[in-house]
Amino acid sequence: MPERPRILSVGTAHPPDRYTQDDILERFHTDSPAVKALYKASHIHARYLYLPEPGPDGRPHETMSELLHKHRQGALYMGERAIRRCLEPLGLGPRDVDYLVVTNSTAFMLPGLTAMFIRHFGFREDVHRTDVVGMGCNAGLNALNPVAGWAAANPGRNALMVCCEVNSALYIDDDSIGNAVVNSLFGDGCSAILVRADPGDAERLAPRILGFNSHIIPEAWAAMHYRWSEEHGRFGFILDRDVPYVLGTHAEFPVRRLLDAFGLKKRHIKHWIIHSGGKKVIDAIKYTVGITEHDVRHTVGCLRDYGNLGSGAFLFAYERLVREGTVRRGDYGVMMTMGPGTTIETALLRW
């Protein structure tokens, strides 16, 4: 059997400025009691964001081109740090990377973030690259699947996956509760992992990626989507209030299929690395997959400290798990991300 690819390193980054939910409410002079209540009930303490100065009316006024500029600058700032923090512990630099994959859903760019990162960070000109765009919060695992496949097919070579989202470059500010839900939830963040299939890494306490299982719910395709707003001349994000329940109904299926494929039971899984989608989503996963508050401690912790970071969020939780030092050789872990489609993606790891 060929060597399985391993996740050898993880690095994360966020914008320099941190805002509590109260800071944001104050900054933009939010008076609506309903919106304030929403922010307070989010189970988010703080987020790192690129926020504009309020206009004369106390509200943010960023043009579409300003948002795109912010997106680009934010992606460069965070991308450089996350990539460096991922590669440096391995003694690697951008020139050592053979395959670069970047996930992003917060702006449409052409050329995409891979090209921008290569230009700015010194990757080789013969680096393979793939941009995974428009897949939302689940994209990290949609991208990890081909990354792991590429790594397995190219033993000893370095695949770098970067999940980079500047959520503060995509918002509509009005008095609607729907937009307030979105604006109270998402944060900016970028995470990177290095994946390699190399027998020489066998001594490292680094998880092998054993397999994936996906689940899409086509009838819930509109539960999360970008919608063009004529009024504001930009995209806004629609997040249906039933999302937690749709995910809850289906979450057990991919997990069961993933574990069945390896003859495992839920009790064999020591570590759950789950996307910090929101408090209700985490609750739904807890009670349908049947896992404990302890199992979701890093998912909940990342939601509290960063908000929902989109595609890179689960790697922030992964980084906390690794740093916690509780992982032992032989432990199994399940990664789980969910997002638009509506879709649930899972991966099985073994340390």
Partner 1 sequence: MQELKTLRYTEEGQVARVELLRDTINMRMVRELTAVCDHLEDESEATIVVFTGAGDDFCRGIDFRDFRPDQPVDIHGFNKWEKACVRIERLPKVTVAAMQGEVRGGGLQLALVCDVRIASPDAVFQLPEVKSGFLPGMATFRLAKYVGLGRAKRLIMQCPEFDAHKAVALGLIDEVAYDLDEGVQAAIDNFLPVHPVVVQLARRLLNESYATDFENAIGNFLAAQHRAVTQTAFLETLKRARQEDGGGD
| Residues designated catalytic | 137
Name the residue nearer to partner 1 (CB basis): 33 or 56: 33
Residues 184 and 44: their CA atoms lie apart, in Å, by 8
Least Å from the CB of residue 289 to partner 1? 10
Residue 287 near partner 1 by CB under 8 A = yes
Number of neighbouring beta carbons within 10 Å of residue 6 = 24
The reply on whether position 264 binds partner 1 by CB under 8 A is no
Nearest distance, CB of residue 249 and partner 1, angstroms: 5
Candidates 26, 32, 41, 89; binder of partner 1 (CB under 8 A) is: 41
Q: What are the distances in angstroms from CA 303 to CA 6, 161, 188, 275, 308? A: 26, 22, 12, 9, 6
Tell me the C-alpha distance between 73 and 106, whole Å. Answer: 13
Residue nearer to partner 1 on the CB measure, 38 or 163: 38
Residue 35's H or E segment, with its range, is: helix 33-40
Q: Contact between 79 and partner 1 (CB under 8 A)?
A: no
For residue 286, the one-letter residue type is K
Which token pair is 46? Answer: 């703080």
The least CB distance from residue 241 to partner 1, in Å, is 11
One-letter identity of residue 105? S
Q: Tell me how many residues contact partner 1 (CB under 8 A).
A: 16
Q: Where are the beta strands (DSSP E) in 134-207?
A: 159-165, 189-196
Q: Does 37 bind partner 1 (CB under 8 A)?
A: no
Residue from 129, 215, 275, 286 touching partner 1 (CB under 8 A): that is: 286
Which CB atom, from 135 or from 281, has the smaller least distance to partner 1? 281
Contact between 243 and partner 1 by CB under 8 A: the answer reads no
- What is the DSSP secondary structure assignment for residue 158, as one 8-state letter? -
Q: Is 331 in the site for partner 1 (CB under 8 A)?
A: no
Q: Which of 147, 145, 178 is closest to 161 using CA atoms? A: 147
Minimum separation from the CB atom of position 265 to partner 1 (A): 6
Tokens of 329: 């050789």
Task: Compute the least distance from the CB of residue 189 to partner 1, in Å.
Answer: 24
Counting contacts by CB under 8 A, is residue 244 touching partner 1? yes
Distance CA 63, CA 70 (A): 10
- Give the interface with partner 1 as residue ranges (CB under 8 A): 41, 244-245, 248-249, 265, 267, 279-280, 283-284, 286-288, 290, 293
